[in-house]
């Protein structure tokens, strides 16, 4: 089985490819199938954005696709950056710029860390405006001293609950086992299997 993954984020592609390999499913990044301009993300929730992206690309391509919307919610910042995680330091911000902004925001408040969680919503669009979705989260805390070179985004600043290492210090397989995205992908596979049995 092959699934087209509509994302421009290489980190997401790597993780979902690796995770779905466990289930014998091949993930094809959308840019290997067609050149489609990314839609604007206007949703106020991860769920809305995942739905919007998946249905947009599926309609453009005329085939089933999955899309994912995810982000980091930091307690000390009232849940920010949330759906704005990829643009926390401004449109087209790099991971480094977003991380620097997060560190600044924590330090401004006199904090060295704060409870936080990563959230992931995945939507598989396969009929006009219909499909399947799943959600995953991982709780932990963010720190102000980056550590590690793996993963992407805020991983050098995020320590999962029960771990002494940041996500960026964990091997990909381990991150996938405990992460928001890994859990959402696994649940989606279970739903697909159930639907196939119906």
- The residue range among 3-11, 18-26, 55-63, 127-135 that interacts with ligand ITT, by the rule CB under 6 A, is 3-11
155-174 residues in contact with ligand ITT (CB under 6 A) are 155, 167
CB of 139 to ligand ITT, least distance (A): 13
62-91 residues in contact with ligand ITT (CB under 6 A) are 68-72, 85-86
Look up 31 and say whether it is catalytic.
no
Long-range contacts of the stretch 25-30 (C-beta < 8 A, 24+): 25/1, 25/189, 26/1, 26/2, 27/2, 27/3, 28/2, 28/3, 28/4, 29/4, 29/5, 30/4, 30/5, 30/6, 30/57, 30/61, 30/65
106-165 residues in contact with ligand ITT (CB under 6 A) are 118, 151-155
* Residues labelled catalytic: 69
Binding site for ligand ITT (CB under 6 A): 7-9, 12, 41, 68-72, 85-86, 98, 118, 151-155, 167, 179, 181
């Amino acid at each position: 089985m092959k699934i087209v993954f509509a994302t421009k984020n290489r980190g997401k592609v790597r993780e979902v490819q690796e995770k779905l390999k466990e289930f014998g499913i091949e993930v094809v990044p959308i840019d290997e199938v067609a050149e489609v301009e990314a839609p604007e993300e206007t949703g106020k929730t991860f769920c809305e954005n995942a739905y919007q992206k998946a249905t947009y690309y599926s309609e453009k391509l005329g085939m089933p696709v999955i899309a994912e919307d995810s982000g980091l919610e930091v307690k000390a910042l009232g849940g920010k950056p949330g759906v704005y995680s990829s643009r926390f330091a401004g449109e087209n911000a790099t991971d480094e710029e977003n991380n620097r902004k997060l560190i600044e925001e924590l330090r401004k408040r006199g904090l060295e860390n704060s409870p936080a969680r990563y959230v992931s919503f995945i939507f598989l669009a396969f009929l006009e405006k219909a499909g399947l979705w799943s959600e995953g989260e991982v709780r932990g805390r963010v720190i102000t001293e980056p550590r590690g070179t793996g993963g992407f985004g805020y991983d050098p600043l995020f320590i999962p609950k029960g771990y002494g290492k940041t996500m960026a210090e964990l091997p990909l397989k381990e991150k996938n086992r405990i992460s928001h995205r890994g859990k959402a992908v696994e649940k989606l596979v279970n739903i697909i299997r159930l639907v196939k049995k119906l």
